[in-house]
Structure 1
Amino acid sequence: MTLAEVAAAVSGALHTAGSDTPETVVSGTVDTDSRNLGAGDIFVAKPGEVTDGHRFVAGAAEAGVVLAIVEHTVEADVTQIVVADAVAALADLAREVVARVRAAGDLRVVGITGSNGKTTTKNMLARILQDEGETVAPRASYNNEVGAPLTMLRVTETTRYLVSEFGADAPGKIARLAGLVTPDVGVVLMVGLAHAGGFGGVEATLKAKTELVEAVRPGGVVVLNADDARVASMATVAAARDLTVRWFGHRTTADVRADDVEVTASGTISEITVDGEPHALRLQVLGAHHVMNALAAITAAGVLGVPAADAIARLETLEIAERWRMQPLGSDRVRIINDAYNASPDSMAAALRTLAQITEPGQRKVAVLGAMSELGDQAGEEHDRVGLLAVRLRYERIVVIGADARRLFISAIGEGSWDGEAVFFETADEAYGYLMGELRDGDRVLVKSSNVAGLRHLGDRLGESFS
């Protein structure tokens, strides 16, 4: 795009520098982190909670950045476009770029949302599609008002598939993000309690997740979880918009369904049926809950024309869903399962059950647990449930970390883990010292918490210690 076209797309005022003119063409990477940029790239100077991107414009210019999108001019030798809101400008630019690529080629867009499983399903679908053509998908969990547009801005004239992950902590955010690309296919995984505090309850979460169905373009397809009654209710919205619905799940009515799920220490096995045709699915990824994510990915890929056998073969090459998501670390002597990138009541329960399933007689189950965030008024009750579940699954050690998770510890003691089975520590360092003295050969250890609790780093540390 020319500088003038970029300025028009973001409704900004162009201030050229050096030999640049409004007709100068730019085509580099776009990012809000100047450390990721170099010659020919574009820096969006976003004000942040910790620092202000405008402080780094001059440094970005020295690194070769050719354009800075700013909220006020900065003393730097680089062309700048001044906008009212840098984050809004990022979204506007993403909308324009995706529209241009779509108009020029055969780009297909898939949007994914759900209270749990978005990142795993995104990675699974991207793995399937990358063998079909150039595929752009989010790095890590780039699913918010900054990460989603940055992903969209990675498409090129040769991109065939864009997989977008849409997260939200308040109503209207999915509508805004999905509205940037109007997906051809919308995938809704589940409606649970993740971020319920921000939404004001699970029914408000349902309404927010339905925004993706409402954003799918006319003639598009929605892929819905047949096992989740709230997700299934979105079929009414899809019908009103004349969208095709494809179903996945364990129900016999699902277009893509799973039966006979078996979780082992080396992966997850299931028999699946795709439009009446049986297939074996052998994932290296741990956890019965990941079968549902695989079903969603296979269903979406099928909508895009990928045969089920091809989709399954590609999924079976995935070793982990994502770093810090049911990631096996350590060794056969002491196995660490680091699943501490995110946590909700549903994912916490699924992870606890998975470790219980893969622990053999004579081995101990150890749960290292931190707080689940953004649960609002339901936080106390949901932490109680996790404590009770860990005891009922007969975890030999329950290690609880952080003041926000203390109620989980108290609940476990109340359920019967009062003779040293459950212990509490204020910090991860204290817990690490305890675990290094407590863990022994044959132990199987789950590390699980929300991202803000920071236990993923404890999981890495334990994995390194027992590797």
Structure 2
Amino acid sequence: MSLLLFVIFVVWLINIFDRVLYSLHMMQLEMYENDKYMNWLTNNKVNVHGPKSNILVITSVIFVVLYMFYPYNSTILMLSWSAIGLYVASYRKYESKKPLVMTDRAKRLFIVTLTLAVVDFILVVLLTKWIAGEIYYIPISAFILSLSIYYGTYYIIGGVWLLNPIEKSINNRFYIQAQDKIKRLEDLIVVGITGSYGKTSTKFITSEILEQKFKTFKTPGSYNTPMGVSKVINEDLNDSYNVFVVELGAERMGEIKKMTKLVTPDIGIITSIGPCHLETFKTLDNIAKTKYELIEGLSGDGWAIFNYDNEYVKKLADMTYIKKILYGLKNPNDLDVYAEDIVTNMDGSTFTLNIKGKGSVECKTKLLGKHNVLNILAGAATGYVLGMSLVQIACGIEKIEPIQHRLQLIYPGTGVIIIDDAFNSNPDGAAAALEVLSEFRNNRKVIVTPGMIGLGDVEYKENKELGRGIAKVCDIAILVGEVRTQAIKEGLVDADFDRENIFIVKSLKESEMVLKTLLRQGDVVLFENDLPDTYNEA
């Protein structure tokens, strides 16, 4: 009997190991927050339980019922259960766009969660044996264990809860260490950038412009949380740098305030306020208040820089009475930094940069779209505040390279042009991407998109509007995820888009297969947004 139990344990462990690893990956994508992870569980029933795992539950029920009424050799029963368990385990493989990163925190959580599951196994067997007796405990245990496999992605919730006090202590230690380091770097100028969108692009742009005069360090990629920024400060920032450009992200009120206490910015840039993370913020007013925490957290002699074209940012700028710079493309009489004579095409943009009290200069950039000119103005305003000349600023603008996954033009050598705008789409960004796509007037235009997320109650409306926008510009629309893209499809149909040119696929990989059958030389393909693995419908 003990050998049979060992076989059951091994098969169970193979399945649970995979379920825990998968759930760890999803939990990492959800920032180790149980609330967000549980929301993912609610909205992703198929991925939660995994393919074929229901087969093991159903057969376990059948085995138990048969054994109750017709007791037979339990060895045959459990070997059959084990064979089905191995069959189920063989279907556990899944593809991911962003792989699991086995950080120290991930390793701790994996070990604790797996230990929790093993303890559960032991308790199930012992309690079942005590309640059901020697004869029936094996088949009944197998049934309960099949349920634990079916619900295996729930163990991680307990692991996070158990480790939460430890993780908070570790995070707090890193945070204080980084905070102290910033305080020691007394001559360091800190530029903080926040906004509903555009902050990462603005960070890269601003850093390149400032590099023409200062040795500048920026947070890599989309590092914009207290722990991510603390890690960068502790490991990479040193006294050889003159300027530190840091991106400040938030999903809840108070998070920007925590970031400003960490880095104490001297210059604060608000790029935009819009419907982003509305599931947690609830209202645009809450988003505006949170972004303004950057301005409230500036050092005593700090500068505030505002995108005056954004109606919500404009309201914040108008209520600000510290030193401030207003930039934009509209109403130049109200602005300190603005652009005129903008010409955009497939190769980038040219424009005249104007800075009140300093003059104007002709600028050229490789970046696509007017919205990137707006982002450049934020960087130019920062350069102006820090005493850079117009020539230095223009030189920096010309050196800016396209930013990965943000309207990045790619020529793969197949005669097809790719516009990669796969990073975190939003209503303004999607409209800007379609405007760039429309510049390719003599080309057939294709879009691949799963739509936009994180827009709360307006998500359906905004995605439907995206569909209407696609209909005006594109010849072919490939929609990734039938459920997610229903609103886009409705917008396309409402705009009388040819239904035969609408293709609905389950995954990005499947979209690539469709593209292979459709594309011809000269086509332009826009990849607009690429949702994380937690949103997979396939």
TM-score by length of 1: 0.76
Cα contact 2:213–2:392 (8 A) shared by 1? no
SS in 1 for 2:272: coil
CA, structure 1 residues 419+176, in 2 after alignment: closer, same or farther (shift >3 Å)? same
Distance 2:305 2:209 in 1: 16
1:264 matched residue in structure 2? 345
1:163 matched residue in structure 2? 245
2:327 matched residue in structure 1? 248
Deviations along 1:173-207, one digit per CA (max 9) or x if unpaired, are: 11111221221000001111122222112221111
2:459 matched residue in structure 1? 379
The one-letter code matched in structure 2 to 1:46 is R
The one-letter code matched in structure 1 to 2:460 is G
1:114 matched residue in structure 2? 195
1:205 corresponds to which of 271, 287, 308: 287
Distance 2:406 2:369 in 1: 10
Distance 1:226 1:52 in 2: 50
Say if 2:170 is the partner of 1:90. Answer: no
1:367 matched residue in structure 2? 447
1:390 matched residue in structure 2? 470
Gaps of 5+ in 1: 1-34, 37-43, 56-70, 72-81, 456-467
2:492 matched residue in structure 1? 412
The one-letter code matched in structure 2 to 1:423 is F
The one-letter code matched in structure 2 to 1:249 is G
Distance 2:429 2:107 in 1: 30
Deviations along 1:234-284, one digit per CA (max 9) or x if unpaired, are: 235531xxx201111122121110122221111112222112522112110
Shift of 1:134: 2.6
Say if 2:396 is the partner of 1:314. Answer: yes
Distance 2:104 2:408 in 1: 34
- Structure 1, 335-344 or 412-421: larger mean CA deviation: 412-421
SS in 1 for 2:485: helix
2:105 matched residue in structure 1? 46
The one-letter code matched in structure 1 to 2:468 is L
1:101 corresponds to which of 185, 204, 207: 185
Distance 2:215 2:268 in 1: 20
CA, structure 1 residues 47+256, in 2 after alignment: closer, same or farther (shift >3 Å)? same
Cα contact 1:213–1:237 (8 A) shared by 2? no
CA, structure 1 residues 207+83, in 2 after alignment: closer, same or farther (shift >3 Å)? closer
Cα contact 2:199–2:247 (8 A) shared by 1? yes
Shift of 1:53: 11
Cα contact 1:225–1:248 (8 A) shared by 2? yes
1:225 matched residue in structure 2? 307
Distance 1:84 1:326 in 2: 37
Distance 1:199 1:368 in 2: 29
Distance 1:49 1:166 in 2: 27
Cα contact 1:401–1:424 (8 A) shared by 2? yes
Cα contact 2:360–2:390 (8 A) shared by 1? no
SS in 2 for 1:146: helix
Distance 2:288 2:356 in 1: 28
Shift of 1:332: 7.8
2:209 corresponds to which of 123, 128, 153: 128
CA, structure 1 residues 48+117, in 2 after alignment: closer, same or farther (shift >3 Å)? farther
Distance 1:432 1:409 in 2: 19
Cα contact 1:109–1:161 (8 A) shared by 2? yes
1:400 corresponds to which of 479, 500, 518: 479
1:423 matched residue in structure 2? 503
Shift of 1:87: 2.0
Distance 1:234 1:151 in 2: 30
2:148 matched residue in structure 1? none
TM-score by length of 2: 0.67
CA, structure 1 residues 83+364, in 2 after alignment: closer, same or farther (shift >3 Å)? closer
Distance 2:534 2:408 in 1: 15
SS in 1 for 2:399: coil
Q: How many residues align?
A: 382
- Structure 1, 226-235 or 438-447: larger mean CA deviation: 226-235
Distance 1:195 1:48 in 2: 29
2:515 corresponds to which of 429, 435, 444: 435
Say if 2:231 is the partner of 1:143. Answer: no
CA, structure 1 residues 360+418, in 2 after alignment: closer, same or farther (shift >3 Å)? closer
Distance 2:447 2:107 in 1: 35
Provide the identity percentage: 27
2:69 matched residue in structure 1? none
SS in 1 for 2:237: coil
More helix by share: 2
Cα contact 1:186–1:212 (8 A) shared by 2? yes
Deviations along 1:371-399, one digit per CA (max 9) or x if unpaired, are: 31211121111110100111123x10111
CA, structure 1 residues 284+84, in 2 after alignment: closer, same or farther (shift >3 Å)? closer
Cα contact 1:371–1:453 (8 A) shared by 2? no
2:428 matched residue in structure 1? 346
Distance 1:89 1:212 in 2: 23
Distance 1:292 1:332 in 2: 32
Shift of 1:118: 0.8
CA, structure 1 residues 453+273, in 2 after alignment: closer, same or farther (shift >3 Å)? farther
Shift of 1:139: 0.8
Distance 1:311 1:164 in 2: 19
Shift of 1:352: 1.1
CA, structure 1 residues 435+332, in 2 after alignment: closer, same or farther (shift >3 Å)? closer
2:418 matched residue in structure 1? 336
SS in 1 for 2:367: coil
Cα contact 1:195–1:375 (8 A) shared by 2? yes
Shift of 1:286: 1.1
SS in 2 for 1:316: helix
Distance 2:318 2:497 in 1: 46
SS in 2 for 1:420: helix
Shift of 1:360: 2.6
Larger Rg: 2
Gaps of 5+ in 2: 1-100, 115-159, 161-165
CA, structure 1 residues 124+53, in 2 after alignment: closer, same or farther (shift >3 Å)? farther
Shift of 1:289: 0.5
